[in-house]
Amino acid sequence: MAPLDMKPNELEPYWVPFTANRAFKKRPRLFAGAKDRHYLKPDGTKVLDATSGLFCVNAGHCREPIVKAIQDMAARLDYAPAFQYGHPKVFELASRLALLAPGDLDYAFFSNSGSEAVDTALKIALAYHKARGEGARTRFIGRERGYHGIGFGGISVGGIVANRKQFGNMLTGVDHLSTTYDRSKQAFTKGEPEWGAHLADELTRLIALHDASTIAAVIVEPVAGSTGILPPPKGYLEKLRKITADHGILLIFDEVITGFGRLGSCFASERYGITPDMITFAKGVTNAAVPMAGVMASKGIYDTFMTGAEHMIELFHGYTYSGHPLAAAAGLATLDIYKDEGLFERSRKLEPAFADAMMSLKGEPNVADIRTVGLLAGIDLEPIAGKPGLRGYEATERMYHDFNLYVRVAMDTLIVAPPLVSTESDVGEIRDGIAKVLKAVA
């Protein structure tokens, strides 16, 4: 591979998302290739991928069956109109997803990103209530420290201050539950913490405040991912399910990260034995090889729309690339890999060793907390005094340039999510790499 030969000016025109552009362009971090558990730098150096890209390359990089499926489809059907027409593979994929989703979540609506999936779910919730003659149900309840992508709907129900404060008023009528994380009660917990189920009772308070007749849906991630891996306290999600059901409020699980094996089952809903009314998914559905996302909706929701004149569109919503042929082909090949290689079970079996490995970083310099669940771990570092985010940024730089390791860093938190194909020794390699980085940024 050609050596890295890029001058700062050539980097300038690209406005890099969620990135410190000026610092990045002075010393860029580029990946030019990938295979299995590694990225390749432009000079060919291998970089260990400890976060499966952005929690999405669950089966490892550039898997041949997926590559082949995409190539074949590109040559056979580059595009079919998404509205009023279809193509066979997208129906096959929807049918496969309906089998994998819990309960009667039997209908798949496709989008291209998790953010669009969230917008789709919120819009379905509003239109569903309207179709049932309860059009006053327009409020949404999200949660502090929730991440639901970056559309206006997603940042409104999301609870990340930095993602909200630049953008004005957003959706009206949104309220938030408290975060379920309290370090003083939960520090260094493996799996779901004992403390915190009572925080779901806040929903009862919010219902009393707004009245159930004004609330369309509650949306939460079963495990908050992007804000540092915050597993749900034991019993918390069950309570949310009961309260929402008792009040005719839809429950949306945003499984963009937790879907497709991250927590040892296809969806986190299965791990927790809870069937929400809708699930948003993305990322792992195609192993990230082609963008695809969507919403699984219950039969009850779908049927509510299937009234009126048959020639009329029932839901005025969709994307040019909903169910794109290349994405559908990639999705089917990905689901085959998950099944044939038993990757959800492998993930479940690896969870205890992964939790032990991550927890053994306790005691390394500046480690303030570690949380693990499934094949996810959040490692909080003490911020440098007066400079929040700087230690995390230095970790990002040192990992790439000095240690050939990639771990997603959010402010001063390292987020680890190894591919589901990892072994115990792979997890040990990640652990040892992180330990070196922590010493380096001490």
Please identify, using beta-carbon distances, which residue of 115 and 304 lies nearer to ligand PLP.
115
Dist CA 299 CA 383 (whole Å) = 47
Minimal distance, residue 152 CB to ligand PLP, in Å: 13
Minimal distance, residue 226 CB to ligand PLP, in Å: 5
SS3 content of the chain, % helix, strand, coil (to 5): 40, 15, 45
Minimal distance, residue 410 CB to ligand PLP, in Å: 10
Dist CA 110 CA 96 (whole Å) = 13
Please identify, using beta-carbon distances, which residue of 256 and 399 lies nearer to ligand PLP.
256
Residue 16: how many CB atoms within 10 A of its CB?
A: 11
Minimal distance, residue 8 CB to ligand PLP, in Å: 27
Residue 277 CA neighbour count, 13 Å, CB half: 24
Q: Is 191 exposed, middle or buried (0-12, 13-18, 19+ CB in 10 A)?
A: middle
Dist CA 92 CA 77 (whole Å) = 15
Minimal distance, residue 379 CB to ligand PLP, in Å: 18
Question: Which are the contacts of 353, defined by CB distance < 8 A and separation ≥ 6?
Answer: 424, 427
Chain centroid offset of residue 15 CA: 23
Please identify, using beta-carbon distances, which residue of 250 and 282 lies nearer to ligand PLP.
282
Cβ–Cβ under 8 Å, residues 362 and 189: no
Please identify, using beta-carbon distances, which residue of 87 and 148 lies nearer to ligand PLP.
148
Q: Which of 224, 214, 49 minimizes the C-alpha distance to 142?
A: 224
Residue facing ligand PLP at closest CB distance: 114
| Beta pairing, strands 38-40 & 46-49 | antiparallel
Minimal distance, residue 377 CB to ligand PLP, in Å: 15
Dist CA 167 CA 354 (whole Å) = 38
Minimal distance, residue 256 CB to ligand PLP, in Å: 3
Please identify, using beta-carbon distances, which residue of 233 and 294 lies nearer to ligand PLP.
294
Per the structure block, which two tokens stand in for 259?
């879907």
- Amino acid letter for position 317: H
Residue 281: how many CB atoms within 10 A of its CB?
A: 29
In DSSP terms, 281 is beta-bridged to 294
Please identify, using beta-carbon distances, which residue of 55 and 344 lies nearer to ligand PLP.
55
Please identify, using beta-carbon distances, which residue of 259 and 304 lies nearer to ligand PLP.
259
> Alpha carbon of 1 to those of 10, 40, 173, 405: distances in Å?
19, 10, 53, 20
Cβ–Cβ under 8 Å, residues 227 and 147: yes
Residue 70: how many CB atoms within 10 A of its CB?
A: 19
Minimal distance, residue 430 CB to ligand PLP, in Å: 20
What is the binding site for ligand PLP (CB under 6 A)?
A: 113-115, 118, 147-149, 221, 225-226, 254, 256-257, 282, 293
Please identify, using beta-carbon distances, which residue of 118 and 350 lies nearer to ligand PLP.
118
Minimal distance, residue 255 CB to ligand PLP, in Å: 7
Please identify, using beta-carbon distances, which residue of 155 and 395 lies nearer to ligand PLP.
155
Minimal distance, residue 54 CB to ligand PLP, in Å: 6
Cβ–Cβ under 8 Å, residues 160 and 145: yes
Per the structure block, which two tokens stand in for 400?
């790439």
Give the angle subtended at the CA of 359 by the CAs of 358 and 360, to the nearest 5°.
Answer: 90
Please identify, using beta-carbon distances, which residue of 115 and 372 lies nearer to ligand PLP.
115
